[in-house]
A and B are shown apart, each in its own frame.
Chain A
């Protein structure tokens, strides 16, 4: 079980602690900057919108993070989110199921799609990049064929109004924030305190060593992809609530952004090292910068450039930090 102890030791690495605090400090720095410079940044309305949207982005990032943990990728996060959104919309509008039934069904559908990815990866032993690239096309294609790209807008009011409520008596906190935090907390305990979580990290760190230590790698791969599908489904349902309609475009633009929050937060593409709170902070940083630049009047057309530069700076600094700490070769 050497791989497992090594991986869990990584999580208490002082450098990682520092890099996490570093990200927190960068976040605080930008908040102070925008609070001082951008009119209306701290207004209840702006914070409410910012945190609501960011919560969804973070859940999308977490859906990617759980497969990065085992050294895989899921290029179908957006496809699953979109399929689940449309499936749930159809269940609500066409079948007339109540919310209490339709939402869990939607989640189960997402998990199932993820499990299908995992099973295909395990059975064919083909790279997850290719499998999920293919299934992304298959999922989205099937969904568009079946729905003919129509939206479902006749959704229960309680779902549509949910994201606009305020919780904890605070005008800037949407119910999406506690949902996101609950998901993050659950994942944090998964990786920190459960055997399953540590086995996932072991598989990511060194698949062969994990297999030889008695970890059932195939099962772990399937579970991780199922979890990713479930989280993509949560993000899909949150988006339906936000838009007030189940639209076939949901998930279209998740693919590339899903990598940003986890990678900025210090999750490695090679697997074995994840940072749940890093992903949360990474998501908040990206959301904050996007929102702040918009308020400062930077043309929204330039946002992608800043987005890319921030991503580049974050991953590069992260790597320099690791090299300095000797956990990675130069």
Chain B
């Protein structure tokens, strides 16, 4: 089963990689300003933040749940950190630690409510998303915190050639996540719970702790994305996060994540985010109508899942035949699964 998933994902990833490379080649040859050091720096910084948002969604998709509050968590972490630095006079390092703790805490709220109420994570995080957003707006009245410490804002602009310092954070976290899901027991347990929760329970896995862990991780990643974005913007904007919902799902879904859980396509998510950021960058450089981005991201999601489905159909054809013969057709959940 896991072998099959890995096989089908790597096919998807290779296709996606080819599309990414093609996109880069097209942009390099048609748009001279694309290959400038500064543009590549902006592009990489954009990817660094968006990838964390996408990973924040991916870790809950891995256990077969959703987190509709990623954006609201990002917004709340942004303004609390902004308040700590600008009003509270808290130095940068402790402010960042507190911001990360807040991100983890919001994730813990989601996780414990999901476990305690046993409500669908979609509805639950929809509700907590409103709560976090309301707290953000109620505390700030919509006014940004402008006076952030210079060193912090400087970090958001710092680069070595085309490589943004911000991206180091994302790089480390992404590699850590890859190791986590590939080799570490808690990561494997998350995939097991996402693949088949009942089986995981019966095998004696600590399902409650695993669900909690995934939500806390999601909150941490969303919080980290918020911190990086705040450093980049140089001010703590209460509106941070309001546009995160679509990219948070687009990255993992284009990258091959299944809404039903059990997958954590980190490389695929990275490639998906790169593709979205390339399109965004290309449209801006070409001075194109910026509204194309929504259309193209939508078309990309659709294209990616349809291609993935066609691939999977081939892989699954044999199994489907066997199932038909034994008289059990796929259940609704499987029939409705993305791939």
Task: Please report A residues at the B interface, Cβ cutoff 8 Å.
Answer: 71, 120, 124-131, 133-142, 144-145, 148-149, 206-208, 255-256, 259-260, 263, 269-270, 299, 301-309, 311-312, 315-316, 319, 330
Report how far A7 CA is from B91 CA in the complex, Å: 60
Asked if B306 and A126 make an inter-chain contact with CB atoms under 8 angstroms apart, the answer reads: yes
29 contacts between A and B (CB under 8 A): A124-B306, A125-B309, A127-B338, A131-B302, A137-B295, A141-B297, A144-B289, A145-B289, A148-B289, A206-B332, A207-B335, A208-B329, A255-B245, A256-B126, A263-B123, A299-B138, A301-B137, A301-B138, A301-B141, A304-B134, A304-B137, A305-B130, A308-B130, A311-B123, A312-B127, A312-B131, A315-B117, A316-B117, A319-B119
**Cα of A138 to Cα of B297 in the assembled complex, Å:** 8
The answer on a CB contact under 8 Å between B253 and A130 is: yes
Q: Is the CB of A145 within 8 A of B332?
A: no
B337 at the interface (CB under 8 A from A): yes
- Residue interface mask B217-257, A partner, CB < 8 A = 1: 00000000000000000000000000001100110010000
Question: For B117, what are the chain A residues with a Cβ–Cβ distance below 8 Å?
Answer: 315-316, 319
In angstroms, Cα B128 to Cα A307, docked, is 10
The contact string, 1 if C-beta is below 8 Å from chain A, for chain B 138-153, is 1011100000000000
Whether B134 lies near A141 (C-beta < 8 A) is no
| Bound-complex Cα distance A260 to B68 (A) | 14
Q: Considering only CB atoms, which chain B residue lies closest to A208 in the complex?
A: B332
Tell me the bound Cα distance from A227 to B245 in angstroms: 26
Given contacts A126-B338, A312-B128, 17 further A-B contacts (CB under 8 A): A125-B309, A126-B336, A130-B253, A134-B298, A134-B300, A134-B301, A135-B298, A141-B297, A206-B332, A207-B332, A256-B126, A260-B126, A269-B123, A304-B131, A305-B131, A315-B119, A319-B119
User: Is the beta-carbon distance between A145 and B292 smaller than 8 angstroms?
Assistant: yes
| Distance A255 CA – B71 CA, assembled complex (angstroms) | 14
Of all chain B residues, the one with the shortest Cβ separation from A330 is B118
Does A141 contact B295, Cβ atoms closer than 8 Å?
yes
Asked whether B309 lies within 8 Å of A127 as measured between CB atoms, the reply is no
Q: How far apart sit A286 and B308, CA to CA, in the bound complex (Å)? A: 40
Query: Is B129 among interface residues, defined by CB-CB distance under 8 A?
Result: yes
- Does A315 lie within 8 Å of B127, measured CB to CB? yes
Q: Across the interface, do A302 and B137 meet the contact criterion of CB distance under 8 Å?
A: yes
**Most central of A125, A137, A140, A315 by chain B CB within 10 Å:** A137
**Contact, CB under 8 Å: B134 / A302:** yes
> Which secondary structure dominates where chain A touches chain B?
helix
- With a CB–CB cut-off of 8 A, which chain B residues contact A299? 138, 141
Task: With A206-B332, A208-B332, A319-B119 as known contacts, state yes or no: A129 contacts B130, CB within 8 Å.
Answer: no
Q: Which residues of A contact B297 (CB under 8 A)?
A: 137, 141
List of B residues within 8 angstroms of A129 by Cβ:
259
Q: Mark B269-296, 1 if CB is under 8 A from A, else 0.
A: 0000000000000000000010111111
Q: How far is the CA of A126 from the CA of B245 in the complex (A)?
A: 20
B120 contacts the other chain (Cβ, under 8 Å)? yes
Q: Is the CB–CB distance between B138 and A130 below 8 Å?
A: no
A125 lies within 8 A of B335 (CB): yes
CA–CA, A263 and B297, complex, Å? 29
Residues of B bordering A, CB below 8 Å? 68, 113, 117-120, 122-124, 126-135, 137-138, 140-142, 245-246, 249-250, 253, 259, 289, 291-302, 305-306, 309, 329, 331-332, 335-339
Cβ contacts under 8 Å, A312 to chain B: 113, 124, 127-128, 131
From A207, which residue of chain B is reached at the shortest CB distance? B332
CB-defined contacts of A133 to chain B, threshold 8 Å = 246, 249-250, 253, 298, 301
The 7 closest A-B pairs by CB, nearest first: A141-B295, A137-B298, A305-B134, A308-B130, A304-B134, A144-B291, A141-B294
CA distance A299 to B139 in the complex (A): 10
Contacts of B129 in A (CB 8 A): 256, 308
Q: How far is the CB of A17 from chain B (nearest CB, A)?
A: 23
With both beta carbons as reference points, the residue of chain A lying nearest to B260 in the complex is identified as A127
Write out the residue numbers on chain A whose beta carbons fall within 8 Å of the beta carbon of B309.
Answer: 124-126
Using known A-B contacts A125-B309, A304-B137, A309-B131, determine if residue A130 contacts B301 with beta carbons closer than 8 Å: yes
Would A124 and B118 count as touching, CB distance under 8 A? no
Q: Are B259 and A141 in contact (CB under 8 A)?
A: no
Return B252 CB to nearest CB of chain A, in Å. 11
Choose among A133, A306, A307 the residue with the greatest number of B CB atoms under 10 Å from its CB: A133
Residues of A contacting B133 with CB < 8 Å?
304-305, 308
Give the distance in Å from the alpha carbon of A311 to the alpha carbon of B292 in the complex.
35
What residues on A are CB-neighbors of B294 within 8 Å?
137-138, 140-141, 144
In the complex, the chain B residue whose C-beta lies closest to that of A313 is: B127
Question: B296 contacts which chain A residues (CB < 8 A)?
Answer: 141
Q: How far is the CA of A5 from the CA of B52 in the complex (A)?
A: 48
Given contacts A138-B302, A141-B295, A301-B137, contact A128 B332 (CB under 8 A): no
Cβ contacts under 8 Å, B142 to chain A: 301
Question: In the complex, what residues of A have CB within 8 A of residue B293's CB?
Answer: 141
